[in-house]
Amino acid sequence: MEKKIKVLTIPLFPFCKPGRKKPIRLKRIRPFDSLNLKKMIKEIHKSSIITFDIRNKTWSVVSVYSAYSPDVHVMLVETSPDRCLPGPEKIPDKEGNKLMRICSAILEFIAQRKINNSIHFGYNWSPRSWGKEEEKTGFQSIPTKWHPHLWGWPDLDNPKSIKQKYIKSVELISLPFPQQRLLGNNNYAKPFGLLIRSYINKTFHENSLLFEFFPRKKWQIDGRGIYAVSNLSLISILNQEEFFSSCLKPLASMLEQLSTDLTEIFTKMNCAEADRLLLKTEKQLPKNWRKLRVTPVMNSPDYIISHFVKRGYPLSLFNAIYEPIYNRCNEQGNPENWWRKGFGYCLVLSGDSEGFSSRIRIMPAVFTGPGGIVEAQGVILNRPENKRFSKNKTRQKCKTLWELAEYLKNKDFSDFVNLR
């Protein structure tokens, strides 16, 4: 029996602020747009629902134009025009810990809506993935600003819970091969998952908060990477005072280091130089920004293998990813089979709305093309460029987000935030 895959097709949603008769004209933000922080932040503010000051830094809850859900989907963005934050590894501990309390409150609101059977928190990371193919689609759309997503889904297995115009079930084999590969028909995710698990076990001690939530022995590997299940609710995990500083940030730092190591083993690309170039966006659009798009030079197979052996990395991973990296560095063959320069990953936490359990998943990004935290959960997302929700549905969604803003205003964040 062929495996069935859920395919979501969610229309575009232009958010309308209270008091306006129609939405402000919006533009999809692409990676290049993120290099001009002031201009990009101005665009983001068009969809801002509410803004908080957290330790004198501005964080906005933003409606998502190209959403993952027919119901609530927002993201959190730090909206200072002079601060480059590619990932959670760059955020101070205290600021990140406070931010998680806001995330928890947003998910509380989403979970209380009867339409939603599950709640989700996740982000994509690929700030070094620059090039003609990398910038088209997939993973981190705003490389200079980490922007975690929060959303809810109805029961995707219950046809009565969601209108069929938004969802359909298809056989995995009917999908284009890049999507099949992303969902598990590949030879790289399992050895990558083994390597990530090894890094996790070295980074976190037995009595760490991460293993308290997701016990060491419960981490499993499959065709989409690595995951673990907890009997705690997602909201309670995010509400834990040091979840960010003790779990999320160390994971992000670990994955950033792994991406750096693999990139610099396989190629002569200098990741620190790319990072420094992105940081220049804090002052202005870097004059030499095109260096981000330079095609890397590949190291010799002997050099790569020797460093794999030295570090104890699985040679099955070398065998799985050597060819796409070679293709990318030589710009040969079908770009669908090219490496995503600099690697990347997505990390997503999900849980049932009732609060009985939760799950964490990390999916490595190896190839160019679409992909991210939706596909990490075994679902395909179609992004129509010319289809919007109806006027009635748009009004309903706007009203829900206004209610979310009021809900957050009434939460007791007085010990660490000021509203804007």
Calculate the alpha carbon distances from 185 to 9, 223, 316, 376 in Å. 22, 7, 16, 13
For tokens 């982000």, name the residue.
123
CA gap 341, 325 in Å, rounded: 8
Picking from 270, 278, 11, 6, the residue whose alpha carbon sits closest to that of residue 127 is 278
Calculate the alpha carbon distances from 72 to 58, 296, 394 in Å. 22, 40, 12
CA gap 359, 229 in Å, rounded: 4
What does pTM read for this prediction?
A: 0.96
pLDDT tens by residue, the chain, 420 residues:
568 899 999 999 999 999 888 888 888 889 999 999 999 999 999 999 999 999 889 999 999 999 999 999 999 999 999 999 999 999 999 999 999 999 999 999 999 999 999 999 999 999 999 999 999 988 999 999 999 999 999 998 876 655 567 889 999 999 999 999 999 999 999 999 999 999 999 999 999 999 999 999 999 999 999 999 999 999 999 999 999 999 999 999 999 999 999 999 999 999 999 999 999 999 999 999 999 999 999 999 999 999 999 999 999 999 999 999 999 999 999 999 999 999 999 999 999 999 899 999 999 999 999 999 999 999 999 888 888 899 999 999 999 999 999 999 999 887 777 666
What token pair was written down for 316? Answer: 């099955």
Predicted confidence at residue 212, as pLDDT, reads 97
Calculate the alpha carbon distances from 410 to 102, 105, 241, 406 in Å. 12, 10, 20, 6
